[in-house]
């Protein structure tokens, strides 16, 4: 079954709110889009509609966290992470236990175009020393990550959710572990590290490459910070030093940069090919944009074959 992770967020946080009265949800006039409206319907006394005031929402959430609440603040990812100064000081510097829910991430948002496509959000959130950064690949992983944030995490966090539906790549009951990635397909010629909306395309690329005699490992990276550097180094050693990253984000500052940092610090030589955006987004359907920017299975396959000179 496929489901948008924004919908999973709404359903999961409403369910978690049944047993945890400290959970509060704040939204910046986009509750029907971020799906925080599900929580609002279930727990109206703990939902706060802040209007188009993301900076104020961040400050209010920080105050609530200081009083022992567990705030989740919601908006389109580009809008809420655009209030970086407030996030940096009110949340990160104060180590406030607030989760930023950045919905409608990447070009997967579709026709709304670049002005509303979060394509630099992972980069800015990764730059904050104590910010956890999560991008689930499907329903099971999203639900588990939210449960972890509510029950175990203390401090600021950022979870990136999709407008488009994502196919299930994990079995029900899958457990998210911060700082750990999970291998979805094994291979020894190269390794594809993918996150969020590109994971399905990476699996499709695995199948297409296999038909051409190329064995590709596929690794899902939901925990972008802390990052599983060990999995990258392991792939460098076991996959002939050929590493590919695929992300619905700028290739600078996101998954590609995290992989490059891990390789450089390991001392192992490797070839790295980053698939993502190195331009501004455009308007179109999610499928059209994934095809245009080479983020679907066909595009990832084509990019890898060109990189390998095949």
State percent of the chain over pLDDT 90: 99
Q: Tell me how far apart the alpha carbons of residues 246 and 195 are, in angstroms, rounded to a whole number.
A: 7
- Contact status, residue 160 vs residue 81, Cβ threshold 8 Å: no
| Tens digit of each residue's pLDDT (9 = 90 or more) over 227-254 | 999 999 999 999 999 999 999 999 999 9
* Cα 61 to Cα 24: distance, rounded to the nearest angstrom: 9
Contact 129, 187 (CB under 8 A): no
Q: What is the mean pLDDT of the chain?
A: 97
Pairing of strands 182-185, 216-220: antiparallel
For residue 1, what pLDDT band results from cuts at 50, 70 and 90? Answer: low
Residue 10 pLDDT level (bands cut at 50, 70, 90): very high
What does the pLDDT read at residue 67? 97
HSE-up (13 A, CA, CB side) for residue 207: 8
Q: Which residues contact 147 (CB under 8 A, 6 or more apart)?
A: 12, 16, 176
Residue closest to 132 by CA, chosen among 91, 186, 75, 175: 91
Question: Tell me, what's the pLDDT at 290?
Answer: 98
Kindly report the number of other CB atoms within 10 A of residue 144's CB atom.
Answer: 19
The CB-side HSE value for 286 (13 A sphere, CA atoms) comes to 14
- d(Cα 220, Cα 13) in Å, to the nearest integer? 23
Residue 54 falls in the annotated catalytic set: yes
Q: Where are the domains of the chain?
A: 3-166, 182-305
Mean pLDDT of 287-302: 98
DSSP 61-78: HHHHHHTT-EEEEEEEHH
What is the structure's pLDDT at 64?
Answer: 98
CA nearest to 225, candidates 152, 147, 130, 160 = 130
Which candidate in 54, 139, 141, 247 is catalytic? 54
Domain formed by 182-305, architecture:
3-Layer(aba) Sandwich (3.40)
pLDDT in tens, 26-83: 999 999 999 999 999 999 999 999 999 999 999 999 999 999 999 999 999 999 999 9
**pLDDT at 46 (0 to 100):** 98
Decide the pairing of beta strands 99-103 and 157-160. parallel
CATH fold for the domain made of 3-166: Rossmann fold (3.40.50)
Q: Is the pLDDT at 128 greater than 90, yes or no?
A: yes
- What's the pLDDT tens digit per position in 156-212? 999 999 999 999 999 999 999 999 999 999 999 999 999 999 999 999 999 999 999
């Amino acid at each position: 079954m496929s489901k948008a992770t924004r919908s999973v967020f709404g359903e999961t946080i409403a369910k978690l709110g049944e047993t945890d009265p400290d959970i509060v949800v704040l939204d910046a006039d986009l509750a029907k889009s971020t799906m925080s409206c599900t929580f609002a319907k279930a727990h109206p006394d703990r939902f706060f509609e802040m209007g188009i005031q993301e900076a104020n929402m961040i400050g209010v959430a920080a105050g609530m966290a200081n009083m022992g609440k567990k705030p989740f603040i919601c908006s389109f990812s580009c809008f809420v992470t655009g209030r970086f100064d407030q996030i940096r000081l009110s949340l990160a510097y104060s180590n406030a236990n607030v989760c930023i829910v950045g919905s409608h991430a990447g070009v997967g948002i579709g026709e709304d175009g670049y002005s509303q496509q979060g394509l630099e959000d992972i980069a800015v959130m990764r730059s904050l020393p104590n910010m956890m950064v999560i991008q689930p690949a499907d329903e099971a992983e999203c639900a588990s990550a939210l449960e972890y944030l509510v029950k175990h995490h203390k401090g600021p966090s950022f979870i990136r959710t999709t407008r488009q539906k994502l196919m299930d790549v994990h079995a029900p009951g899958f457990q998210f572990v911060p700082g750990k990635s999970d291998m979805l397909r094994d291979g020894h010629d190269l390794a594809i590290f993918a996150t969020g909306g590109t994971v399905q395309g990476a699996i499709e690329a695995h199948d297409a490459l296999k038909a051409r005699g190329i064995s590709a490992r596929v690794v899902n990276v939901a925990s972008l910070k802390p990052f599983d550097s060990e999995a990258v180094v392991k792939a460098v050693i076991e996959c002939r030093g050929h590493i590919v990253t695929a992300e619905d984000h700028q290739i600078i500052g996101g998954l590609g940069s995290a992989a490059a940092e891990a390789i450089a610090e390991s001392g192992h030589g490797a070839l790295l090919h980053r698939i993502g955006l190195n331009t501004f987004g455009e308007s179109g359907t999610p499928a059209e944009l994934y095809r245009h920017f080479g983020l679907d299975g066909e595009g990832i396959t084509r990019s890898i074959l060109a990189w390998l000179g095949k």
